[in-house]
Amino acid sequence: MQHMARLLPRLATLTVIALACQAHADDKVLNIYSARHYQTDDAFYADFTKQTGIRINRLDGKEDELLERIKNEGARSPADILITVDAARLAIADEAGLFQPIQSKVLAQRIPAHLRAPNWIAFSTRARVIVYNKANVKAEWVQTYGDLAHPRLKGQVCVRSGSHPYNLSLGAAFIAHDGEQQAEAWARGLVQNFARAPKGGDTDQIKAVAAGECGVAISNSYYLARLMRSTKPEDQKVMDAVGIVWPNQATWGTHINVSGAGIIKTAPNREAALKFMEYLASDKAQAYFADGNNEWPAVPSVKIDNPALKAMGAFRADTLPVTQLARNAARAQKVFDRAGWR
Ligand SMILES: [Fe+2]
């Protein structure tokens, strides 16, 4: 919100400038609305400007606020690009008609098909993993998401809200692979096993596992990598107490979610926008996501240099198309509601 306040006046000015110069619109600026808030991202924005000479105006905000803003601005929106995390959220923006089709050979070549939709692309991935307390829980007990619903883990499960997109996408994958009935049975079992009512973010669940308040939790991989790379003694203590499991290695593969972006339908700086999308798939930008924010590059050939990702090792990721995750997210919400996963 702080960023928003700072950038609002600048964007208001931008709208005026864009309208005044419509006849000879050049592509030397790019207006990005971002719901991705990682400080390390500043580096790749700066690098894009250095490489292309295109200045970036960035409006940071919450997902819903940015979507509403683009809708309200209508045809006069200065927004060229929307960046956010989670496949379902990207799909919501797409269904609202905010994006335009992406025509790029570069992106078609670099980004694997299951990480692309016609109107948006995923540029990095994160895995949803199981974290367990090494003193109280055996890794063999929690080899799949399904295992978390086993009665043996009664009173042991900590997880954030069922309506958070990270869990909805996991639920969406569950539905796609095993069907809605099984997904619901799983969610019910999970709720039965809760150590406490869902609260906090993924990092809070990891810390609760380390503290012994719960035996197991579900978390995105980059939160774990962040703790692994932290020099704070309390974070190192947390990571000493917990183990990490790549779930579902023998079945559908570990669920992954994405960061992604689309070009806004009314983008005033279309060429610059496409350049930026292609930049996101470049070796350099891809390495920023991996090294800066501990995500995996969407482009498979990219070499990364991240000690935490290296320590976490290789795993088999689910290759379910991101478009299908997006499609099932609303069903997942209903399933979780029925199961009482608030
Ligand atoms: Fe996150």
Q: 110 CA distance to ligand 1 centroid (A)?
A: 25
Q: 294 CA distance to ligand 1 centroid (A)?
A: 11
Amino acid 292: pLDDT: 87
Q: Is 91 left (phi over 0), alpha (psi -120 to 50) or beta?
A: alpha
Q: 328 CA distance to ligand 1 centroid (A)?
A: 20
Tell me the C-alpha distance between 317 and 339, whole Å: 27
Which residues are 332's β-sheet partners? none
Tell me the C-alpha distance between 93 and 185, whole Å: 30
Tell me the C-alpha distance between 331 and 52, whole Å: 42
| 221: nearest Cα among 282, 288, 342, 311 | 311
Helix axes 202-210, 233-241, angle to 10 degrees: 70
Q: No. of H helices and E strands in the chain?
A: 14, 10
Q: 48 CA distance to ligand 1 centroid (A)?
A: 24
Q: pLDDT of the chain along its 342 residues, tens only?
A: 334 434 444 443 333 334 334 434 555 999 999 998 777 788 889 999 999 999 999 999 999 999 999 999 999 999 999 999 999 899 889 999 999 999 999 999 999 999 999 999 999 999 999 999 999 999 999 999 999 999 999 999 999 999 999 999 999 999 999 999 999 999 999 999 999 999 999 999 999 999 999 999 999 999 999 999 999 999 999 999 999 999 999 999 999 999 999 999 999 999 999 999 999 999 999 999 999 889 999 999 999 899 999 999 999 999 999 999 989 999 999 999 999 999
Q: 306 CA distance to ligand 1 centroid (A)?
A: 18
User: Is the pTM of the predicted complex or chain greater than 0.85?
Assistant: yes
Tell me the C-alpha distance between 265 and 238, whole Å: 45
Q: 38 CA distance to ligand 1 centroid (A)?
A: 9
Q: 202 CA distance to ligand 1 centroid (A)?
A: 8
Q: 191 CA distance to ligand 1 centroid (A)?
A: 22
